[in-house]
Structure 1
Amino acid sequence: MTAADAELQRAIEAHQSGDLSTAIHGYRCVIENDSLQAEAWHLLGVALHQQGEHTAAVQHIRRAIELCGTNEAYYCNYGTALLAAGQTADACRQLERSLELEPARAEFHFNYANCLKQSGQLDRAVASYRQALQLRPAYPQAQNNLGNALMEQGLLDEAAGCFRTALASQPTFADAHHNLGNTLLRQEQHDEAQSHFAVAAKLAPQRPEFLQSYFLSLSYEVDVNAQQRFDLHRLWGAQIDGLHPAATAFANTVIAERRLQIGYVSADFREHAVADFLEPILANHDPVRCQVTCYTNVATPDERTEQLRGYGGQWRSIAELTDAQAAELIRGDGIDILVDLGGHTAGNRLGIFARKPAPVQVTGTGYGWTTGLPSMDYRLTDAIADPPGESRRHTEELVRIPHGMLCFQPPATAPDVTPLPGSNDGTITFGGFHRHVKLNERTMKLWAQILERVPGSRLMLKDRAFRHAHVVERIRNLCDACGISRERVLWETGSDSRCDHLAMYGKVDIALDTWPYNGSTTTCEALWMGVPVVTLAGDSYVGRMSASLLTQVGLPELIAQTEDEYVDCAVRLAGDFAALQRLRGDLRDVMRSSPLCDGPGYTRALEASYREMWRRWCDARHSARRAS
């Protein structure tokens, strides 16, 4: 063995042991001594790819192919590096070349399938994954990726089967546990989904997204208290903070009263319930004092997107950008205050905030818990949702908006308020238009008491998930266990039309809120349609959202502090037809003139809070300079 061969062998051994830096140094030494050593170029490219340096990897593996164009592994790894570098079309061509040279290699079909999937060719990707599995039946990675492709096609049962097969051969495969959890969640099988998320989070603590999926799946669980939720969020924050240390130096001009650059980050600049709370902010911001930039994580804009965009300000699409790229964009835009509007909900970009691209960072509308991020400075709330003096369950400093943290934009497509349905035959219909996951034993037992004390009354439940038979069966069994007769329950799945959804309130006399997770959009919609909402205040933000909204509208008498008060309030209201009819006729006008729908007033208070945050940051910078 020559000295060059020995050097290459040592580099390969370091590579195989996971010591990438030593391997890379060794491969470079071999190339310096022999620039025609194709395998050293190839393996150096592979190591760079594994280290995340995909562009450099492409260059080095290309050189290996120039030196030896008949090695099928070179083409395979070249295609894989090209795919990671975002050059999908060229990647597919190189992976096809590897298959031409060696069609019987399962991993070649696997890599080609990954490329097809990334380019959106799901049918061809599925076929290629299946080919890989024919060649190597025990191939958990191929089973996992096939499951992901099938899930994208909506074939959830088959996808779940793939993940289970992968786990049968590799029980510690964290990605498969996580993907199975996501599939089960889409099938409304929450309990089993939670168990797989928990396993994934335990197996891969270096993957914060697994822990995030776990605590999101617990959102509506009664047995998880506020402190436990806070601990999980804080652990997630520590995990992602360790991966992406926050920036500490900023070039922003330290002048307290200058025009502020405000950035809003959201996946809900589209037809979505959260947009009802975003629109008043965009429509009423002060362009003299604040320049607004919206960072939209919306892959497919719709009419609502264009409507929101019409309020002015700057728009930046970040849907195709990585968190690191988006953070650099935001930093380059000179944003002073960056506002998160999603928390841990779908499409969130908290990874951007972990990198701290703006001096001041705030989380607001869209999520009811702390983000857990050390780099998030403030959380918007109000004195009802988060009363002063209560236990600290947030990593951010609370900023309370004076009249309530939410401002609602009534939907333009809402139908007119209809007459009280109970006035026809004296039958009261209670409504629960909540997601079925909010329906728990404690809530249903309270509803059972209300129905028992209001003879002849009915309960209308509405959720699109009732299109699934197993969801309906679960809620029916819950009704049985809580003493609600099946003949007194009306089931509605509704349509995808918001106008049709709102029209369903025409069949409801009184809306009943859920506990411990209240409604927010649901509460606002019911009130706008003339339907009073009875709520039971809980011990956290998500359990006091409706209390905050009802306070803004001037209906504190509908807020119960105990279970007995909750039942009594609903029963008392059901027995007063005159009061119900009065509310039915007045609620829309009352709501329209209340702080809840006062877009200009709310936005002035919000932007005044931003200004105070900025002053504090400027003061801290001036103090630091004086001290140095």
Structure 2
Amino acid sequence: MTAADAELQRAIEAHQSGDLSTAIHGYRCVIENDSLQAEAWHLLGVALHQQGEHTAAVQHIRRAIELCGTNEAYYCNYGTALLAAGQTADACRQLERSLELEPARAEFHFNYANCLKQSGQLDRAVASYRQALQLRPAYPQAQNNLGNALMEQGLLDEAAGCFRTALASQPTFADAHHNLGNTLLRQEQHDEAQSHFAVAAKLAPQRPEFLQSYFLSLSYEVDVNAQQRFDLHRLWGAQIDGLHPAATAFANTVIAERRLQIGYVSADFREHAVADFLEPILANHDPVRCQVTCYTNVATPDERTEQLRGYGGQWRSIAELTDAQAAELIRGDGIDILVDLGGHTAGNRLGIFARKPAPVQVTGTGYGWTTGLPSMDYRLTDAIADPPGESRRHTEELVRIPQGMLCFQPPTTDPDVTPLPGSNDGTITFGGFHRHVKLNERTMKLWARILVRVPGSRLMLKDRAFRHAHVMQRTQNLCDACGIPREQVLWETGSDSRRDHLAMYGKVDIALDTWPYNGSTTTCEALWMGVPVVTLAGDSYVGRMSASLLMQVGLLELIAQTEDEYVDCAVRLASDIATLQRLRGDLRDVMSSSPLCDGPGYTRALEASYREMWRRWCDARHSARRAS
């Protein structure tokens, strides 16, 4: 063995042991002594790819192919590096070349399938994954990725089968546990989904997204108390903080009263319930005091996106950017206060906030609990949703907006308020238009008590998910178990039209809120359509959202503090047709003139809070400079 061969072998051994830095150094040494050593160029590229330096990996593997264009493994790894570098079309061509040279390699079909899936060619990707599995039946990675492709196609049962097969051969495969959990969650099998999320989080504590999925799956569980939720969120925050240490140095001008650069990060700049609470803010920001930049994580903008964009400010799409790239963009824009509008909900970009690209970071509309991030400075709320003392369950400092935590933008295509349906024959219809996951035994038993005490009354349940037989059956079983007679339940799946959805409130006399997870958008919509909402105040933000909204509209009498009060309130209201008729006729006007719909007033209060946050940051910087 020559000295060059020995050097290459040592580098390969370091590479195989996971010591990438030593391997990379060794491969470079080989190339310096022999620039025609194709294998060294190839393996250096592979190591750089594994280290995340995809552009450099592409360059080095390309050089290996120039030196030896007949090695099928070179083309396969070249395609994989190109795919990671975002060059999908070229990646597919190189992976096809590897298959031309060696069609019987399962991993070549697997990598080609990954490329097809990323380019959106799901049918071809599925076929290629199946080919890989035909060549190598015991291939859990291919089973897992096939399951992901099938899940994207909506074939949930088959996808779940793939994940289970992968786990049968590799029980510690964390990704397969996580993906199976996601599939089961979409199938409304929450208990089993939670168990797989928990296993994934335990197997891979370095993957914070697994723990995130776990505690999100617990969102509507009654038996998880506020302290348990806080502990899980804080653990997640510690995990992601350890992966991405927050920045501490900023170039922002330290002048307390200058025009502020405000950045909003959201996946909901589109037709989404959260947009109803974003619009008043974007529409009413003072351009003299604030320059607004919206960082939109929306892959497919819609008409609502364009509507929101019309309020001015700067818009940046971050849908195609990594968290690191987006953080660098935000830092380059000189944002003073960066506001998260999603928390841990779908499409969130909390990984950006973990990197601390702005001096002051705030979380607000869109999520009911703490983010758990040490780098998140403040959380927006109010004194009803989070009474004094609640700070103990937040990693952020709570900032209470005097007018209330939310400001609602009424829909522009709303139908007219209809006459009270119960005024015709005295039959009272209660409504629950919440997502079925909020319907639990405790809530349904309360509703059963109300129906017993209001003779002849009915309960209308509405959720698009009732289109799925298993969801309908689960909810029917819950009604049966809680003593709600089947003949008193009206089932509605509704339509995808928001106007049609709002029109359904025309069939409801009184809306009943869920516990422990209240409504927010549903509460606002009901009130706007003239339907009073009876709520039971809980012990956390998500259990006090409706109380906050009702307080803003002046309907304190509809906020119950105990279960008995909740039942009595609904029964009392059902027996007072005159009051129901008055509310039916007045609620829209009352709501319009209330703080809940006062966009300018809310935004001024919000800007005042931002200004105080900024002053505090500036004061801290001045103090630090004096101390040094």
Give the alignment's TM-score, normalised by structure 1: 0.99
List per-residue Cα deviations over 1:210-231 (Å, max 9, x = no partner): 1001100000000000000000
State the Cα distance separating 1:179 from its structure 2 match: 0.8
Q: Judge conservation of contact 2:513–2:519 (CA < 8 Å) in 1.
A: yes
SS at match of 2:395: coil
Determine helix, strand or coil for the equivalent of 2:120. Answer: coil
* Aligned equivalent of 1:56: 56
**SS of 1:424 mapped into structure 2:** helix
CA distance in 1, matches of 2:390, 2:364: 19
Q: Distance in 2 between matches of 1:80 and 1:390?
A: 49
1:231 partnered with 2:231: yes
Give the Cα separation in 1 of the matches to 2:360 and 2:177.
Answer: 37
What's the offset of the Cα at 1:287?
Answer: 0.5
Cα distance, 1:609 vs structure 2: 0.3
Paired with 1:472 and 1:74, the residues of 2 have a C-alpha distance of: 53
Question: 1:48 & 1:93 partners in 2: Cα distance?
Answer: 21
Structure 2 CA distance for aligned equivalents of residues 144 and 283 of structure 1: 45
Give the secondary structure class of the aligned counterpart of 1:461. strand
Q: Distance in 2 between matches of 1:313 and 1:80?
A: 39
Q: Deviations over 1:513-546 (max 9, x none)?
A: 0000000000000000000000000000000000
Measured after TM superposition, the shift of residue 152 of structure 1 is 1.1
| Residues 246 and 355, structure 2, Cα contact 8 Å, conserved in 1 | yes
Percent identity between matched residues is: 97
What does residue 585 of structure 1 align with? 585
| Structure 1 unaligned spans of 5+ | none
Render the CA deviation track for 1:444-477: whole Å, top value 9, x for unaligned.
1111110111111110000111011111111111
Q: Structure 1 residue 17: deviation in Å?
A: 1.1
Deviation at 1:423, TM superposition (A): 0.7
For 2:391, what is the secondary structure of its paired residue?
coil
Query: 1:3 Cα shift?
Result: 1.6
Residue pair 2:241, 2:373 contacting (<8 A) in 1 also? yes
Q: 1:23: Cα distance to partner?
A: 1.1
SS at match of 1:392: helix
Deviation at 1:391, TM superposition (A): 5.8
1:349-394 CA-to-partner distances (Å, cap 9, x unmatched) read 0000000000000000000000000000000000000011346100
- Residue by residue over 1:201-257, the C-alpha shift from the partner in whole angstroms, topping out at 9 and shown as x without a partner, is 111100000100110000000000000000000000000001111000000000000
Q: Pick which of 585-594 and 382-391 moved more.
A: 382-391
Q: Which moved more, 1:231-240 or 1:381-390?
A: 381-390
Q: 1:390 to 1:343 in 2, by over 3 A?
A: closer
Distance 2:392 2:386 in 1: 10
2:75 corresponds to = 75
Give the direction of change, closer, same or farther, for the CA distance of 1:21–1:607 in structure 2 (3 Å limit). Answer: same
Alpha-carbon deviations, 1:303-343, whole Å to 9, x = none?
10011011111111111111111111111111000000000
For the 8 Å contact 2:391–2:398, the answer to whether it is kept is: no
Q: What is the CA deviation profile of residues 69-121 of structure 1, one whole-angstrom value per residue up to 9, with x for unaligned ones?
A: 11110111111111111111111111111111100000001001111111111
Deviation at 1:151, TM superposition (A): 1.1
CA distance in 2, matches of 1:276, 1:420: 26
Distance 1:390-1:92 versus aligned 2 partners, 3 A rule: closer
Q: Match of 2:384, SS?
A: coil
SS at match of 1:263: strand
SS in 1 for 2:390: coil
The CA distance in 1 between the partners of 2:121 and 2:497, in whole Å, is 31
2:337 counterpart residue number: 337
How many Å separate the matches in 1 of 2:289 and 2:11? 59
Aligned residue for 2:356, secondary structure, equals coil
Q: C-alpha distance in 1, partners of 2:113/2:478?
A: 44
Q: Deviations over 1:248-269 (max 9, x none)?
A: 0000000000000000000000
C-alpha displacement at 1:405, in angstroms? Answer: 1.1
Looking at structure 2, the residues matched to 377 and 115 of structure 1 have their Cα atoms a distance apart, in angstroms, of 40
Query: Contact conserved, 2:72 with 2:101, CA < 8 A, in 1?
Result: yes
Q: Cα deviations across residues 6-63 of structure 1 (Å, max 9, x unaligned)?
A: 1111111111111111111111111122211111111111111111111111111111
Q: Give me the CA root mean square deviation.
A: 0.7
Q: Structure 1: how far apart are the matches of 2:598 and 2:555?
A: 17
SS at match of 1:41: helix
Partners of 1:373 and 1:349 lie apart in 2 by 12
| Superposition deviation, residue 292 in structure 1 | 0.5
Determine if contact 2:391/2:397 at 8 Å carries over to the other structure. no
Q: Does the 8 A contact of 2:309 with 2:315 survive in 1?
A: yes
Q: Distance in 1 between matches of 2:473 and 2:309?
A: 43
Rounded Cα–Cα distance in structure 1 between residues aligned with 2:252 and 2:406: 29
What is the Cα deviation at residue 412 of structure 1? Answer: 0.7
CA distance in structure 2 between the aligned counterparts of 1:321 and 1:56, rounded to whole angstroms: 19
SS at match of 1:362: strand
User: Secondary structure in 2 aligned to 1:348?
Assistant: coil
> Structure 2 CA distance, aligned partners of 1:162 and 1:465?
25
Task: Please state how far the C-alpha of 1:184 moved relative to its aligned partner.
Answer: 1.2
Any idea what the Cα deviations from partners look like across 1:141-182, whole Å, max 9, x if unmatched? 111111111111111111111111111111111111111111
SS in structure 2 of the partner of residue 294 of structure 1: strand
State the 1:4 CA deviation. Answer: 1.5
Q: How does 1:238-253 map to 2 (within 5 A)?
A: 238-253=238-253
Q: For 2:170 and 2:154, how far apart are their aligned partners in 1?
A: 25
**Which digits, 9 at most, give the CA deviation of each residue in 1:395-414, with x for residues without a partner?**
00000000101000000111
Q: 1:294 & 1:55 partners in 2: Cα distance?
A: 29
Partner of 1:452: 452
| Cα deviation 1:584-618 (Å, max 9, x = unaligned) | 00000000000000000000000000000000000
Find the aligned partners of 1:28 and 1:513 in 2 and give their Cα distance: 66
Distance 2:124 2:386 in 1: 52
Asked if residue 150 in structure 1 is aligned to residue 162 in structure 2, the reply is: no
Say whether the 8 Å CA contact 2:378–2:399 is kept in structure 1: yes
Aligned partners of 1:349, 1:390: CA distance in 2, in Å?
A: 25
Does structure 1 retain, via aligned residues, the 8 Å contact 2:277–2:407? yes
SS of 1:391's equivalent in the other structure is helix
Mean CA deviation greater in 478-487 or 228-237: 478-487
Aligned-residue offset at 1:509: 0.4
Quick one: distance in 2 between partners of 1:439 and 1:505?
19
Whether the aligned pair in 1 keeps the contact of 2:48 and 2:54 (CA below 8 Å) is yes
Greater alpha carbon shift after TM alignment, 559-568 vs 383-392: 383-392
Partner in structure 2 of residue 354 of structure 1 = 354
Write the deviation string for residues 254-288 of structure 1: whole angstroms up to 9, x where unpaired: 00000000000000000000000000000111010
State the TM-score, normalized to the length of structure 2.
0.99
Distance 1:622 1:222 in 2: 47
Whole-angstrom CA distance in 1 between matches of 2:423 and 2:602:
37
The aligned length equals: 628
Distance 1:355 1:76 in 2: 34
Which deviates the most, 612-621 or 388-397? 388-397
Higher mean C-alpha deviation, range 54-63 or range 331-340: 54-63
Q: What's the CA shift for 1:191?
A: 1.3
Deviates more, 1:510-519 or 1:190-199: 190-199
